A = this chain, B = another copy of it.
Amino acid sequence: VSKIEQQERVTIRTVAADAGVSVATASKVLRNAYGVSDAAKERVRASMARLGYRPHAAARGMRGQTYTLGVLLPDLRNPFFAEIMDGVNRYLASTPYQALLGLGQSAVRLEHNLVENMLDRQMDGLLLVAPRLPIQEIEDIARRIPTVLIGLHEAGATAYDTVNNDDFESGRLAVRHFAAAGRRRIAYFSLAVAGSPEDTTVIHRENGYRAAMKELGLTRSIRIVHADQTREAIRAAAMHLLRPATRPEAIFCWTDFVAFEVISVARELGLDVPRDVGIIGHDNTAFCDLDIAALTSIDQSGPKLGADAARLLVERIGGRTTSQFITVAPRIVQRGSSAGSRAL
C-alpha cells in the first residue's frame, strides 16, 4: 500500500493530542462552550493556530451547526440586492457564520427546490429575500429552520422575523413630493402580481400612494397601472399611460428599472421629463445617479436592511423564539426627473 506522505488532515483529534487534552475539551474550545479551564483553552487555541486547523463543516453539521446561512435571492438582476448583501456580509464578518446564496431564478418551483436543498445541507438559518413563495410555505419552512424575510411584510407572522423598508411610507413620500410641486394627477406604475402574497412591497407602496392621494383630496386622480416584469409589457403599459388625453402629470414607479423604461417611452413620444411628466423610481440604484438617467428615486438603505436581517437571524439561531419586525424609513433622493413644478 504505497501511500505518499498524503499530508494527513488536521482534525480535532490532532489538535487534542497536540494540546494534551481530550477531543471533548478541544471541541468545547472550538465552540466557545463553557466548562474549560483558561489554561486548557489557551493550549488548545495555540495548537489550532500552529497546526492550521480548520473545522470540517460537514462533520460539524452531523451533530451541531454548519455555521452556514442560506440566502435566497430571486435573481441577480436587481442591483438593490447587492446593497442588501453588503449589509449582510458586513454584519456576518464579526461572527462565525458564512452566507451562501442560492438563486431562485424568479420561479416558485425553483425557489422551493432551493430551500429544500438548503435544508438538506443543514444550514443553520435562512434569509429569504423577496421570496415568491406562498406565505403558507414560508411558515412551513420557518417551523423547520430559523428564518428571516426581507421584502415581504408580515401578516401577523409568529414563526419568522421580517425586515422591511417602510413601503407604505415610500408611497406617501412620492405623492407628497409631486404634490408639493403642484402636480395633482399622479399615477402609480405597479407590478402585475398574480397570486402573490398580499404583503409584498409593491402592494404596500400602492397602499401608501392611495392613502396620500386621499389625504390630499386627490382621490379622483388615483390611477394605477400594472405590468409584468418584461420590457415589452412595461413599454406597452407606459405607452398607454402616456396617451395625450389622459396623461398624468407625474408617475411613481415601483422600481427604478420601470422608471427608466417609462422615461425612455416618454422621450420617444416627444415629451419632456420632468416638464411634461415627472418621474420617481424606487431603490435609488446606481444608474439613477448617471446624468443620462438623473432619476429621482426612493432610497431604502439596503445595507441596513441586510445587516438587520443578518443580526435577527443570528439571534434566532441563538434561541430567540418571539418574532421581530423591523421597518426602516425610506428617504427620497431628488434628481432631474422630478425637478421643478408643473406650473413652470
A interface residue numbers (CB < 8 A to B): 54-62, 66, 68, 70, 75-77, 79, 81-82, 85-86, 89, 98-103, 105, 114, 116-117, 119-122, 231, 257, 260-261, 263-265, 267-268, 286-287, 289-293
Contacts and interface: CB of A to CB of B under 8 A. Distances in A.
B66 A121 contact: yes
Contacts of A55: 120
Given A68-B121, A76-B85, 11 more contacts: A54-B116, A55-B120, A56-B122, A57-B122, A58-B58, A61-B61, A70-B100, A75-B82, A77-B286, A101-B103, A267-B292
Contacts of A267: 291-292
A293 B291 contact: no
A12 B134 CA distance: 30
B54 A58 contact: no
Contacts of A102: 98-101
Contacts of A61: 57-58, 61
A120 B286 contact: no
Q: Is the interface of A mostly helix, strand, loop or mixed?
A: helix
A102 B257 CA distance: 25
A272 B281 CA distance: 27
B292 A263 contact: yes
Contacts of A103: 85, 89, 99, 101
A86 B105 contact: yes
A214 to B, nearest CB: 33
Contacts of A257: 286
A4 to B, nearest CB: 14
Given A102-B101, A293-B292, A82 B77 contact: yes
Q: Name, among A56, A62, A68, A100, the residue most crowded by chain B CB atoms within 10 Å (CB to CB).
A: A100
Contacts of A81: 76
Contacts of A60: 58
A53 to B, nearest CB: 11
A62 B58 contact: yes
Contacts of A54: 116, 119-120
A79 B212 CA distance: 35
Nearest to A116: B54
Contacts of A260: 287, 290, 292
A119 B102 CA distance: 18
A65 to B, nearest CB: 10
Contacts of A100: 70, 100-102
A98 B117 contact: yes
Contacts of A57: 58, 61, 120-122
Residue of A54, A58, A98, A117 with most chain B CB atoms under a 10 A cut-off? A58
